[in-house]
Amino acid sequence: MVQSAVRVAKEVEARSILLYVDALARPADLAKIVGKNKSLILVARNEKDFELAQQISPRVVSVPPVNLTRMGQIKMATLMAFSQRMLAPGETFVCLTGVMGRGVDTMVVMSVGEEHELFRTVDQPKITEHIRRAVFQRVLSLVIELAGEGREGKPVGALFVIGDQEAVSKYCHQTIINPFRGYPEEERNVLDENMRETVKEFCSIDGAFVISGRGVIVSAGTMLRTAVSEQELPQGLGARHAAAAAITASTASLAITLSESTGTVRVWRRGEMITEIEKAVPVPARPSSKALPEDQDE
C-alpha cells in the first residue's frame, strides 16, 4: 500500500503523502520503502509513534488516540497538517489510513479546499492571525478526546471560542461565577498539561469556554449574546452551533463545537463551518457460535 501510494503520488503530482504510523505492521521498514521522501507527513497517535516518526521524516503530526472513522482520521490529520503549514490551500495529497489498530486498508487522493467533504472552505484568515497554532491544536485535541471518552461514561457537548478576546468579551455574559477568574495567566493556560483534566471537568457546565489566542482560559460557563449568523446552518444543529456561527461571524475568533448527541466535532470560522470530524461508531460484537445450553430455549 505504501509503495502504491508513492506511485500514485507521482502520477497525480501530489506534493504530500499522509500516513498513520500505527497503521503499519512494521513502521521501521518505512524508511526502506520511501527512502528520503520529503513529501511524507507521518501521523502519530502516541508518544512512542511520534518519536519513531521523527526518525523517519522531518514532518510529523500528533493527533489524539481516539477511534475515528476513516474519513474522520483523514480530516483530523489534514487539519493538523494544514494548521502547521505542512499542507497549503489547493494542494493535492495522498492519505493512507485504516481502522485503528488493524492496518492500512484505505488510500485517498484529495485536494485541500476542493473537496467539500474535507474542508467546507479554505477562504479563511491564517490561524496565526490571532491564534497560536499550538493553542488551536491543543483545544482541537481536547475536544476530540472528549468526543471519544465523554465524561464519567456519558457523552458531553461543548463550545470553545478561541482568539480575538477583546471583541469576543463584548458578547459574553456570565450566568455562573467564572471558575477561572482570579488565577494567574500561567496557571490557566490550555497549553499547560495540568489543565487538561480541569477543562474536561468544567465541560459539564452550560455555556462556552472563552480562550485567548495565546491559550489563556478567560472564562467557562459563558453565554454568548450575538446576532444570528446569516449563514444557514445544516439541519439538526442546535443552539450551541448557532452560537459558534454567530460569534465567529461577529469577531475574528475561531470556534470548536462538540455535539452531545453524535460526538461530532465541528470547526467554525467567519460564521461558517470549516470542517466536521465524526466519531467512529463501535462495531457490535458478533453473537457467540457456541451451542445453547440444553435447558435454554432457542
**pLDDT score of 218:** 94
Which of 20-24, 49-53, 60-64, 123-127 is predicted least confidently? Answer: 123-127
98 in Cβ contact with 105 (< 8 Å)? yes
Which of 49-58, 117-126, 136-145 is predicted least confidently? Answer: 117-126
Task: Using CA atoms of 101, 102, 108, 110 in order, give the dihedral in degrees to the nearest 10.
Answer: -10
* Bridge partners for 68 per DSSP: 279
**pLDDT score of 212:** 93
Which of 20-24, 60-64, 146-150, 162-166 is predicted least confidently? Answer: 20-24
pLDDT > 90? residue 188: yes
**pLDDT score of 32:** 63
- Supply φ then ψ for residue 2, to 5 degrees: -65, -45
Cell matching residue 80: 493538523
CA-to-CA distance for 255 and 171, rounded, in angstroms? 14
pLDDT > 80? residue 96: yes
CA-to-CA distance for 45 and 43, rounded, in angstroms? 7
44 in Cβ contact with 21 (< 8 Å)? yes
Q: Categorize the per-residue pLDDT at 54 as very low, low, confident or very high, splitting at 50, 70 and 90.
A: confident
pLDDT digits (tens, 9 = 90+) for 212-242: 999 999 999 999 987 665 566 666 678 888 9
Note the pTM of the prediction, 2 decimals. 0.75
- Selected residue with higher pLDDT from 38 and 90: 90
* Bridge partners for 265 per DSSP: 258, 277
pLDDT digits (tens, 9 = 90+) for 20-47: 887 776 766 666 666 555 678 888 888 8
pLDDT digits (tens, 9 = 90+) for 262-279: 888 998 988 888 888 887
CA-to-CA distance for 96 and 74, rounded, in angstroms? 8
**pLDDT score of 255:** 93
**pLDDT score of 209:** 95
Of the ranges 9-13, 49-53, 114-118, which is most confident? 9-13
Cell matching residue 145: 478526546
Q: Which domains does the chain have, with CATH numbers?
A: 2-111 (3.40.1380.20), 127-277 (3.40.1700.10)
Q: Categorize the per-residue pLDDT at 298 as very low, low, confident or very high, splitting at 50, 70 and 90.
A: very low
Residue in 180, 196, 191 with CA at minimum distance from that of residue 145: 196
**pLDDT score of 76:** 85
CA-to-CA separations, 224 to 99, 201, 250, in angstroms, rounded: 38, 21, 11
Judging by beta carbons within 10 Å of its beta carbon (0-12, 13-18, 19+), is residue 65 exposed, middle or buried?
A: middle
98 in Cβ contact with 20 (< 8 Å)? yes
pLDDT > 50? residue 11: yes
**pLDDT score of 118:** 45
Residue in 136, 126, 87, 133 with CA at minimum distance from that of residue 110: 87
